[in-house]
Amino acid sequence: MSQATNQSWGGRFSEPTDAFVERFTASVNFDQRLARQDIQGSIAHATMLARVGVLTDDERDAIINGLSEIKGEIERDEFEWSVPLEDVHMNIEARLTDKIGITGKKLHTGRSRNDQVATDIRLFMRDAIDVIEAELVRLREGMIELADREAETIMPGFTHLQTAQPVTFGHHLLAWQEMVARDHERLLDCRKRINVMPLGAAALAGTTYPIDRHVTAELLGFERPAENSLDAVSDRDFAIEFTSFASILLMHLSRMSEELVLWTSAQFDFIDLPDRFCTGSSIMPQKKNPDVPELVRGKTGRIYGHLMSLLTLMKSQPLAYNKDNQEDKEPLFDAVDTVRDCLKAFADMVPAIEPKKASMFEAARKGFSTATDLADYLVRKGVAFRDAHEIVGQSVAYGLRTEKDLSEMTLDELKQFSATIEQDVFEVLTLEGSVAARNHIGGTAPDQVRAAAQRAREALATLKGGAL
Ligand code: ARG
């Protein structure tokens, strides 16, 4: 057998792999990121093999010690990765055999790289999800606390990006919080299906050794062994689920980003973002650009791309493992990094938002945002809603001609449009009156926002850490 032929499967080959093909098929440059999980899986596998009598205790100990040393070499960046050895699995196994001799070759008894890699990715994703969840929790906490603080702050609410009705800033922030709360649930739901163990499926059909998959599953903290060996080695639907979660989350973050970008503009002037989240322009000295939300908005595109590439990767693949599956890692790794960083950016930034309350209030006062309140007032006085709508429409037209908001008109001016209007109308035409009147669950009244913030805190405490 030629030196250049991969030692672990070179037996039936009569010529070495073409140099380009070797590079083309190798994954070690990116799958070395699975090293920690690969070693964790191998230690559990060796422990199980000794438990069922396939390895002796001495062999198990030699393997575990060797693997622990290799882990140290990798962590200290002393490990020499080899492309001819193809992937993370064979690099580590070859190094183990270097170190402990023939016993190293026994580690692969009763398993295949097919169940090994499927197990490694699931372990990796479980760890990644836990880090991502911590950032998501931090973001939710930040949103809830800011909302509580800003329960009385009035801003315009929009539909079609046109001033619609006044809302409280706290209410707006709790709308964001609801979006990410559902993302949180989706993440934990995805984690449940990730936490199932492929190991023991071997290449595709299982193995003839008397393995105990419950032992390995328990050692690795998996909920249970995967039910079917063909499915266990081949499906990557969990990667698709994760990138679906990521796509929906980034879609939400892009909506929030868009609002932050609008709000920091001179035209809106609703909030200030501290300088540390912004950058300047090399040519226009006055500029302070909201780069962080803009980048999060932009990164949404690459996450959608990863979802699309994984869906397409899996489409039409026959059972069981196919080399196509090696293409799952790069999109998945990038999705994990991007989601973690975007969440970190948001979790740091949201509590630092400084609302410009006077400017928000002034914007809400413009644009006849209490017109619906006037219509509701007329209905309470016995006018039919359609007639009330018409009366208020005429008042607004008058306001546009005379450049007066409804609350700035005198009682006589308002009475031109309906004799039913009396002095008490001014209570409903104020912004404070308008928001306070929407006083039911889900409404924008300050009392409701404070109560909703409290419920959100409780919901978060129950969900945190996976109690779905
Ligand atoms: N590097 C491969 C992957 O990521 C590992 C599994 C290879 N299995 C095989 N039979 N070629 O999918």
339-384 residue pLDDT tens: 999 999 999 999 999 999 999 999 999 889 999 999 999 999 999 9
Catalytic (active site) residue 160: yes
Taking the centre of ligand 1 as the mean of its atom positions, its distance from the CA of residue 106, in whole angstroms, is 19
CA distance 161 to 363: 13
449 φ/ψ angles, rounded to the nearest 5 degrees: -65, -45
* Residue from 25, 326, 328 to probe ligand 1 pocket by mutation (most atoms less than 8 Å from CB): 326
Protein residue closest via CA to atom 3 of ligand 1 = 326
Ligand 1 atom closest to residue 325's alpha carbon, by position in its atom list: 12
Query: pLDDT digit string (tens) for 398-435?
Result: 999 999 999 899 999 999 999 999 999 998 999 999 99
Taking the centre of ligand 1 as the mean of its atom positions, its distance from the CA of residue 34, in whole angstroms, is 13
User: Which pLDDT score is estimated for 466?
Assistant: 61
Query: pLDDT digit string (tens) for 245-303?
Result: 999 999 999 999 999 999 999 999 999 999 998 888 787 878 889 999 999 999 999 99
> Which of 2, 68, 265, 281 is labelled catalytic?
281
Protein residue closest via CA to atom 11 of ligand 1 = 323
CA distance 353 to 356: 10
Tell me whether strands 162-168 and 154-159 are parallel, antiparallel or unpaired: antiparallel
CA distance 448 to 310: 43
On the CB side of 201, CA atoms within 13 Å amount to 27
**354: exposed, middle or buried (Cβ count in 10 Å: 0-12, 13-18, 19+):** exposed
Taking the centre of ligand 1 as the mean of its atom positions, its distance from the CA of residue 117, in whole angstroms, is 7
Catalytic (active site) residue 252: no
Contact status, residue 144 vs residue 351, Cβ threshold 8 Å: no
* Entry pTM: 0.94
Protein residue closest via CA to atom 2 of ligand 1 = 326
Give residues (CB < 6 A) around ligand 1. 27, 31, 87, 113-114, 117, 321, 323, 325-326
- Work out whether the CA dihedral 415, 417, 421, 423 comes out positive or negative: negative
User: Which pLDDT score is estimated for 154?
Assistant: 98
Taking the centre of ligand 1 as the mean of its atom positions, its distance from the CA of residue 114, in whole angstroms, is 6
Query: pLDDT digit string (tens) for 56-77?
Result: 999 999 999 999 999 999 999 9
> Which of 160, 282, 316, 440 is labelled catalytic?
160
Taking the centre of ligand 1 as the mean of its atom positions, its distance from the CA of residue 113, in whole angstroms, is 6
Give the pLDDT mean for 120-133. 98
User: Which pLDDT score is estimated for 3?
Assistant: 42
Contact status, residue 55 vs residue 85, Cβ threshold 8 Å: no
pLDDT band at 464 (very low <50, low <70, confident <90, very high): confident
pLDDT at 317 over 50: yes
Ligand 1 atom closest to residue 86's alpha carbon, by position in its atom list: 1
- Beta bridge mates, 196: 224
Domains along the sequence of the chain with CATH: 10-109 (1.10.275.10), 114-362 (1.20.200.10), 368-466 (1.10.40.30)
